[in-house]
A and B are shown apart, each in its own frame.
Chain A
Amino acid sequence: FPAATAGTREQDMEVVQKYLENYYNLKSDGKQIVRQRNSSLVTEKLKKMQEFFGLKVTGKIDADTLNLMRQPRCGVPDIAQ
């Protein structure tokens, strides 16, 4: 199993933010809100995504969640816009 990443790298934060904006209706108005680690909005969207894909629902960015976000996919959101 992949070693746990030391800390979520900067670019991971961008991957997460873009993913949640594209597919989970995260409203950010261009601000980097994923950096605000305790952003409840981000936590809630992360939980929705983890639930959809049958991952462990933590609301935190872990290796499995990141790995899944990096997979090629359809551009249509997973939740109704």
Chain B
Amino acid sequence: YVLTDRTLRWEHTHLTYRIENYTPDLPRADVDSAIEKAFQLWSNVSPLTFTKVLRGQADIMISFVRGDHYDNSPFDGPDGNLAHAFPPGPNLGGDAHFDEDERWTKNYRNYNLYRVAAHELGHSLGLSHSTDIGALMYPNYMYDGHVQLSQDDINAIQAIYGPSPNPVQPTGPQTPQVCDSNLIFDLITTFRGEVMFFKDRFYMRLNPFYPEVELNFISTFWPNLPSGLQAAYEFAERDEVRFFKGGKYWAVQGQEMLYGYPKDIYRSFGFPKAVKNIDAAVSDEETGKTYFFVANKYWRYDEYNQSMDAGYPRMIAADFPGIGRKVDAAFQKYGFFYIIRGTTQYKFDLQTKRILSIDRANSWFSC
């Protein structure tokens, strides 16, 4: 987040707001609710309170306008510039304007009013834009179904107004730092020749064109995948990547979610009901055998026969010596398995059953 030396702030913490007019895109009650929830996000983490007034001048005046609306910041028609708000101060100060040339919604379709209002009210309270892609105060519109303050947003508002009076200080999700040596990935999979790393709501991707690691929301590619994914593997033969969470899994082909999912792992792969979730999965392109790691055991599934190989599950320790008991993620690259446990990556030769090298899990990011 950014606080400028001229960061403006409200000198009183009990603020008023007024919705001067309503967009025809939504019922009035939905607009009221979106704005109220957006204020609640900020009051939950700070000493600020917000009271809605129905007439007269409020601290924060909210309106839906289009084109040039005489505040020296004209809107630009559909898309592009969605809304803006002014930093704390008298009159125009604190006011938030929403572009009536946009379609305002209360779901995932562009543009979700609650999501945009949460951002704009951050400006009304004195915040500038954040470079943290996971922060609500990031300049670009991103909506993955969740509207929540990140830790970066909370730090920013508390830097201006102090902590929340709540006995338990609220916290928010942190955006993964690709070079954080303590970064533990939820899952890793190859993807059409690339390697994609997943953590919380984000993916990280090596970009062959330049050294910067691409980090963005998973919903950018697959808005219908659930959060909290636990494993994934690529079955290259069919250009499919399968994502697992609990007893269910989803399949994608490129950016397309394949039809008929989620399916359950019991019927599709033959797991016993005792298996509640998959920790990691990787498919050997040479043999079409997919390895599923569950707690201290692993299963081997034959993609061509579409059945589990006999004699499984087996102990991980027996066939992957030196790797230990539980696996967090796994993928295959250059013919080797890369098995990740915590922050450690083991490069493993399936033929010789030997560990060839040990690295940090994020060593691919050339930090």
Contact = CB atoms under 8 A, between A and B. Distances in A.
Interface stretch (B30-38, B78-86, B310-318): B78-86
Could you say which of A1, A23, A71, A75 has the most chain B C-beta atoms within 10 Å of its C-beta? Answer: A75
Given A52-B131, A80-B6, A73 B81 contact: yes
A7 interface: no
Nearest to B211: A56
B226 to A, nearest CB: 24
B141 A72 contact: yes
Interface residues of A, number: 17
Given A23-B139, A53-B131, A75 B83 contact: yes
A75 B84 CA distance: 5
B291 to A, nearest CB: 30
A72 B111 contact: yes
A23 B73 CA distance: 11
Interface string A41-76: 000000000001111100000000000100111111
B110 interface: yes
B304 interface: no
B129 interface: yes
Contacts of A55: 212
B129 A76 contact: yes
18 contacts: A1-B207, A1-B209, A22-B81, A23-B139, A52-B131, A54-B212, A71-B141, A72-B81, A72-B82, A73-B82, A73-B140, A74-B129, A74-B140, A75-B75, A75-B82, A75-B83, A76-B84, A78-B139
| Complex A-B, nearest 5 residue pairs according to Cβ-Cβ distance, in ascending order | A75-B84, A75-B81, A72-B141, A80-B4, A73-B140
Interface of B: 4, 6, 73, 75, 79-85, 99, 110-111, 116, 119-120, 123, 128-129, 131, 133, 139-141, 207-210, 212, 215
